[in-house]
Amino acid sequence: MNTDKNTVIGFILLAGLFFAYFWYNNKEQTEMQAYNKRINDSTALVKSLAEKAAAAKNSIIADSSSTASAAIEDSVKQQITSLENDLIKVEFSNKGGQVLGVTLKGYKNSKNQFVKLGDSSSLNYPVNIGNNQTAQINQIIFPSVNISKGDSGVQKIEYAWTTPSGNTIRHQFSLAANKYAIDWNVQLQGADQLLSNGQINLLWDVHAYQQERTVTYERQISNVCFSEGKEFDYISSKTTWAFEKPIQWVGLIQQFFSTTLIAKDGFGSGKIDWQRKTDSSNGLASMQTQLQTKVSGAIVNIPLSLYYGPNDFQILKSQAPEMEKIVNLGRDLYSFVRPLNKYIIMPVFDFFAGFVSNYGWVVLLLTIFIRLVTSPLTYSSYLSGAKMKVLKPELDEIKKKLGDDQQGFAMEQMKLFREAGVNPLGGCIPALLQIPIFFALYSFFNSNISLRGQPFLWSQDLSSYDVIATLPFTIPLGFGDHISLFNITAVITSFLISVYNMSMTPTQDNPALKYMPYFFPIMLLFFFNGLPSALTWYYTVSNIVTLLLQFVIQNFIINHDKILAQIDIKRKTPKKKSGWQSKYEQMMEAQKKVQDLKEKHKK
């Protein structure tokens, strides 16, 4: 790839997209911080009022009957029961008859402890217990607990409570073998009396905590995903969302894990309030979801499911429609790379991972595959560069003849290229091609849980940046407080490519070309230092392959004498200008006339 004027344009476009991408992320984070202070203050006030209301209700209920008094919150009688399979261990509490927390047996956090999800979370809904009194279900101590086993190793636990008015509420849970999801059935006997206006109002309060190395980065990419009207959607910068269509599922999403509530029959309406944390704790985000659905009849069953597990594409796909889109393979401005990830990069990556155990070598094989697929375009680019190199003596003569007349030189250069059959934009094709590939791999490596915790060479985790030195201070512009060796190798190889291209450039008197070998690698030095080492390793390998291809193609494949002969033949062939060429030349001629008039006026 020759670093001519058009290649510079390609690099500038690529740099512009990089800047736009990181500016967009920083803008989103700034907006979130502005929202969070207001929301945290509002949340604290709402919780305070809710606690006072709950305390008042509990006091009223405690006086209503001895049965209610025995059932409402009593920490002495709270019992914890556990169920587990090969993947997870689930703790249940008879206070509220709900999941207390889930431990993932196959994953550890940054502190080398098993990942826990669902801590401090709760599910709640109000019920009428008689005598015009209402109780919150998460404050009820369920006195009856039944544990049993079903077919195929399914474990079951049931909590039951009978209200003072004689209606019964049952929370029935089942945990199947090798599953992350917990089926939950809410059975209401006497639902017409238990629920006001024939509607259940479910409030799900869920919290997410740090699992990865950097809490700030993990907070930044945490978000809320849901299925509304059987279509996937998510919110990141906004803090509230009112559903306008039926809801199938909703989840609080971390980088590699998610906590999701699935409504098998759907909810009719609802609302989400959520916020990222901004304090010094290990909290990432919290979400309060209100879901409502109409029910009818005296006996009602509301089938639900609770998913506590990894953001694995195939696992999520088996949970509920559209749930696999929780894995961010490209969204919003970068949604154009999702098909590239889904149908090419991910299948090829999984194919190599099927017989190569070390994921660092899988990334290397993926890189080679990508370079082989794009090699025809790369070859055409190098061929275009070789043609321009052959034309260098003529370009130098034109430059010498016209001196500082840049517009005149541009017109003559375009004329020469047309006569020789040279595409001046051919040299920037690889640079432009790197744009979708980079953003596709950025999304893929950031969301691919199979890379999490996988060591390679000096990197301890391919899903995060590698560290060879920790700094006592933080360098701004995204560099951080550490030095990544894979980042250094990516920058050095990028610099070598730029220097090599400079040696192949037909004209080197353009000021932009003079500093290009330094500008782009320095930009990468800051942007890449905090990126996953899988991505910087990919970039290093890709650059090495580029250098080898350039050397081999330029020195052993491309015949410069043959190219010169072909150019001579092209010159003798009658040319027909394309529409854009004619317009471009007309524009250049008009600009030249204006410049000549200005020069004449100055004299």
Task: Going from the first residue of the chain to its last (603 residues), give the mean pLDDT of each consecutive group of 10, the final group possibly shorter.
Answer: 50 58 53 49 48 45 39 61 94 94 94 92 91 90 87 90 92 95 95 92 95 90 94 91 95 96 93 91 93 92 96 95 94 89 95 94 94 78 69 74 70 71 63 80 92 93 91 82 91 85 59 65 84 92 87 72 67 58 63 65 62
Among residues 541, 457, 537, 535, which one has the least CA distance to residue 497? 541
| Dist CA 442 CA 113 (whole Å) | 27
| Dist CA 390 CA 382 (whole Å) | 12
| Dist CA 263 CA 122 (whole Å) | 16
Among residues 554, 539, 192, 187, which one has the least CA distance to residue 388? 554
Tell me the CA distances in angstroms from 292 to 185, 253, 298, one per residue in order.
16, 22, 18
Could you count the other beta carbons within 10 Å of the beta carbon of residue 523?
A: 18
**Amino acid letter, residue 332:** D
In the numeric block, the tokens 């999490």 are attached to: 452
Among residues 528, 532, 363, 531, which one has the least CA distance to residue 463? 532
Torsion angle of C-alpha atoms 195, 200, 205, 206, degrees rounded to 10: 140
Tell me the CA distances in angstroms from 525 to 377, 522, 536, one per residue in order.
27, 5, 10
In the numeric block, the tokens 């590939």 are attached to: 437
pLDDT at 581: 58
Domains of the chain with bracketed CATH:
5-23+336-401+422-557 (no CATH), 65-327 (2.70.98.90)
| Dist CA 358 CA 363 (whole Å) | 9
Question: What's the per-residue H, E or C state across 58-82?
Answer: HHHHHHHCHHHHHHECCHHHCCEEE
pLDDT at 69: 39
pLDDT at 349: 96
Residue burial 371-400, b: 16+ Cβ < 10 Å; e: rest: beebeeebeebbbbbbbbbbbeeebeebbe
In the numeric block, the tokens 């003079």 are attached to: 514
pLDDT at 45: 46
Question: Global pTM?
Answer: 0.78
Could you count the other beta carbons within 10 Å of the beta carbon of residue 64?
A: 19
Contact 159, 140 (CB under 8 A): no
In the numeric block, the tokens 């990468």 are attached to: 524
In sequence order, the 6+-apart residues with CB closer than 8 A to the CB of 449 are 256, 310, 311, 312, 463
Could you count the other beta carbons within 10 Å of the beta carbon of residue 107?
A: 19
Give strand pairing partners of 188: 169, 300
pLDDT at 62: 39
Could you count the other beta carbons within 10 Å of the beta carbon of residue 501?
A: 21
